[in-house]
Amino acid sequence: MIDIPWLDPHDRTLFPSVDTALRDPDGLLAVGGDLSPERLLSAYRHGIFPWYSDGQPILWWSPDPRLVLYPDKLHVSRSLQKTIRKARFQITLDTRFTGVVRSCAMRRNTDEGTWITEEMMYAYERLHDQGWVHSTEVWENSRLVGGIYGVAVGQVFFGESMFTEVNDASKVGFVHLVHQLRHRGCRLIDCQVQTEHLSRFGAELIPRSRFVQHLNDWVRDGYADGNWKINADVVREVEQTGGKF
């Protein structure tokens, strides 16, 4: 029997220390609570995120080590550089947030379980309305074919999910997003747990203790900054260079 704390429903900011998270399953920290904006923002500021399936209580996680990408270390393969230079896709920010989230949910529900529940979608839509959560949209001939969404607090972007409908769409969107984030002063992109896909982009595992220190340094003065607009100059630069720094 696993003994983990249940969150006080009346205190929406209190979490156990991430040092108390379980080793197996890696990073499981707490159960319960809610997905209110206050609790979610407190979670991200402390290096915690929710992940659970339909029929489960809300589960809160802080794995060790943590997969992160430092924007300046972005790696773009030669084949992807060629695709980016062709400017086949059009990139926007915060123009179709709900569409991106629901497309991610459909993809995840098919491939990896139903962790993007209706409750989860509603919670992130509320945070988007408040200016904390942002989406990157990838278009081909006016059709939404890829996208990414995540939480931005201070100089850290917490990636949540992405989807793709055609080959390379989400990859191109991710490269553009990294460049847009770097232009906005982002110091760190949280990728949560290791995946081969993100590791190819240069994401690396770091100890949770270092990740938490980064949060202490880079999210302290974070504020909601409304809907983002694409920087066209950065888009042109990415298309000219293929996404290389």
- The string of DSSP codes covering 83-115 is HHHTT-SEEEESSSHHHHHHHHHHHHHHHS-S-
Would you state the pLDDT for residue 163? 95
Regarding the domain delimited by 67-241, which CATH topology (the fold level of the hierarchy) does it fall under? Aminopeptidase (3.40.630)
pLDDT digits (tens, 9 = 90+) for 81-105: 999 999 999 999 999 999 999 999 9
pLDDT for 111 beyond 90: no
Give the H/E segment covering residue 217.
helix 208-218
- Say which CATH architecture domain 6-63 belongs to: 2-Layer Sandwich (3.30)
Compute CA distances 231 → 99, 237, 238, whole Å.
Answer: 21, 10, 11
Cis peptide before 71 (omega within 30 of 0): no
Give the start-to-end residue ranges of the domains of the chain: 6-63, 67-241
pLDDT for 30 beyond 50: yes
Would you state the pLDDT for residue 110? 44
First-to-last alpha carbon distance for the chain, in angstroms, is 49
pLDDT digits (tens, 9 = 90+) for 180-207: 999 999 999 999 988 888 999 999 999 9
In the block, tokens 């770091």 appear at 206
